[in-house]
Amino acid sequence: MSTESKLCFRGALSEKTQLIAFFQFLDENTPKKYLGKPFYDPKSPEYGEHTPNAGYRPVNYGTYKKAGVMFAFNNTPVSKPTLFARLRSYANGVYPESKTTQAGSKPISYTKWEQTPCHKLIFERIGADPNSVRANIRAPDRYKIKYDKRDKYDYICYLAWKAMGQKTDLLDASVDQWRVVWGKDPKSPNMCHESVRDKQTGLIAYGYTTPLRWAMRNSHDATVQNLIILGDKDFNTKGLKRTAGQHKTSYFTEEQCLLLPKALDSVDTLVYSYFGILFGGRSIALRDLTPVRIDYEAHNLSVFESKVQKTIEKPIFEPETTFIRQYIQDFCPDPKKPLFARGPDCYNRELHATQKWFNQTPYPLSWRPTTHTAFKHTCVTQMSLHGVSMDSISDYIGTDPNTLRDFYRGGSKEKIQAEIGGMSVKLSAPTWRAFVIKLTEAFAQRYYELTGKQVTLPTTGGSS
């Protein structure tokens, strides 16, 4: 996003999701010959036919006034002055698909970085294997193979190159330059460059070390290479990891899970959250889901987890299957298109807003929900509290039991009280299956309220 996205407004058309919907609607209702041109205020004389700004895109306000406000903003009228103000402030729009084609969207420094030998070496040596599982499980006409590892290395090395002043290629950097980046400079010990610093530890970010060690190993300077080859203690990862389990308390309780649908006003965010709680997938895995990933006959849904580079098979039963079928039938009839097409920022913003909603209920949230923390933490914790063994959770989630215990499973206090103190855990659904049925009913009811489409769920649980 450009710096324009940092502007703050009050009233109508003040949220980013609203602005995106607004400009998307204008794009869809504007003659193609004007697409790609900035918007303008037709009442302002500075955009006249014979002025330097001539050629700006005209906007059909009648069309927008009749339809745009009604479908996008909960029947809240938006005045023409407000419309003009947003167009002037966001002349190039905020719709993501439009911004990718705008000139200047790539930083000048990155354009310079693309000419460096290090950048070229990354693109030469690091990338996805075209025969990999990930390449084959994705629909080729919808997805391009994403070189996640390559992009990660490229971005982190780009940050290090900027930290060195952009004058020396990373492969030619000296030992002293690398010491400054890593925070090993004797003049300022433990003060790595801010661009690669972890805000919690104050040290170089643990996830940044592997790409930087790769660049050092491929250095043109044999002395720099030997720092990695011989295992110099100043450039290893010891002591860089954050304290484990900082987000273990970031999960929705059973009551909050059943209330969550009422806090959501977007259909795809509603179903996205349902999938997240039910299947415990990472956000990128949820966004990669397509209808073809669901095998109704085998009662199976396949989720590709890019972090561990493997596909996890998850069983689906009733009433989940009926609810999922309904959503796909209503909104995702193309089997190769993603179930959740919007970017992570959109979903995160709507999840952030639920904290304020919950804090007005008897079940307030002490943490801010995100796609990163809420779903997998909630799924693992609720499965554990509802009697599912850690081995089964591990197989279902695709993460080893130790990692689940150290990072994801909350509810330890409740488990201790139940198993050691003999105190019953207050759960309205005694088993995971009973919980899933209640959860599906809550989400299906909200789905009906948002869409007017009734989901007829089976009366009993069991396989679909």
Lowest-confidence segment of 156-160, 215-219, 458-462 by average pLDDT: 458-462
Among 221, 225, 211, CA closest to 122 = 211
Among 217, 212, 105, CA closest to 159 = 212
**What band does 223 get if pLDDT is binned at 50, 70 and 90?**
very high
Average pLDDT for 135-149: 40
Lowest-confidence segment of 262-266, 324-328, 370-374, 384-388 by average pLDDT: 370-374
Taking CA atoms, 65 is separated from 26, 53, 68, 81, in Å, by 11, 26, 6, 12
Residue 190 confidence (pLDDT): 73
Residue 132 confidence (pLDDT): 39
**What band does 69 get if pLDDT is binned at 50, 70 and 90?**
very low
d(CA 227, CA 234): 8
Q: Is residue 11 over pLDDT 70?
A: no
What SS3 class is residue 197? strand
pLDDT of 147-179, one tens digit each?
A: 567 888 998 999 999 989 998 999 999 999 999
Lowest-confidence segment of 79-93, 258-272, 327-341, 378-392 by average pLDDT: 79-93
Counting residues of the chain whose pLDDT is more than 90, the rounded percentage is: 25
**What band does 133 get if pLDDT is binned at 50, 70 and 90?**
very low
Counting residues of the chain whose pLDDT is more than 70, the rounded percentage is: 69
Q: Is residue 74 over pLDDT 70?
A: no
**What band does 188 get if pLDDT is binned at 50, 70 and 90?**
confident
Q: Is residue 116 over pLDDT 80?
A: yes
Q: Is residue 256 over pLDDT 90?
A: yes
Average pLDDT for 64-88: 57
Lowest-confidence segment of 57-61, 253-257, 348-352 by average pLDDT: 57-61
DSSP-assigned beta bridge partners for residue 317 = 463
d(CA 202, CA 229): 26
Q: Is residue 225 over pLDDT 90?
A: yes
When mean pLDDT is compared over 74-78, 97-101, 192-196, the highest value belongs to 192-196
Q: What is the mean pLDDT of the chain?
A: 76
Among 274, 393, 282, CA closest to 326 = 274
Lowest-confidence segment of 38-42, 130-134, 138-142, 156-160 by average pLDDT: 138-142
Give the torsion sign (CA, 389, 392, 395, 397): negative
Helix or strand run (H / E) with residue 312:
strand 310-315
Lowest-confidence segment of 42-56, 245-259, 419-433 by average pLDDT: 42-56
Q: Are 208 and 166 in contact (CB under 8 A)?
A: no
Residue 246 confidence (pLDDT): 58
Domains in the chain and their CATH numbers? 3-99 (no CATH), 108-235 (no CATH), 254-463 (1.10.443.10)
Q: pLDDT higher for 262 or 411?
A: 262
Residue 172 confidence (pLDDT): 95
pLDDT of 12-31, one tens digit each?
A: 666 666 777 777 777 776 66
Among 186, 234, 190, CA closest to 212 = 234
pLDDT of 294-307, one tens digit each?
A: 888 888 888 877 66
Q: Is residue 214 over pLDDT 60?
A: yes
Average pLDDT for 48-71: 54
Number of alpha carbons in the 13 Å side-chain half-sphere of residue 302:
14
Give the torsion sign (CA, 259, 294, 352, 64): negative
Residue 81 confidence (pLDDT): 67
d(CA 109, CA 89): 26
DSSP 325-382: HHHHHHH--STTS-S--S-HHHHHHHHHHHHHHHTTSSS--SS---TTTHHHHHHHHH
Helix or strand run (H / E) with residue 279:
helix 267-279
**What band does 381 get if pLDDT is binned at 50, 70 and 90?**
confident
d(CA 116, CA 118): 5
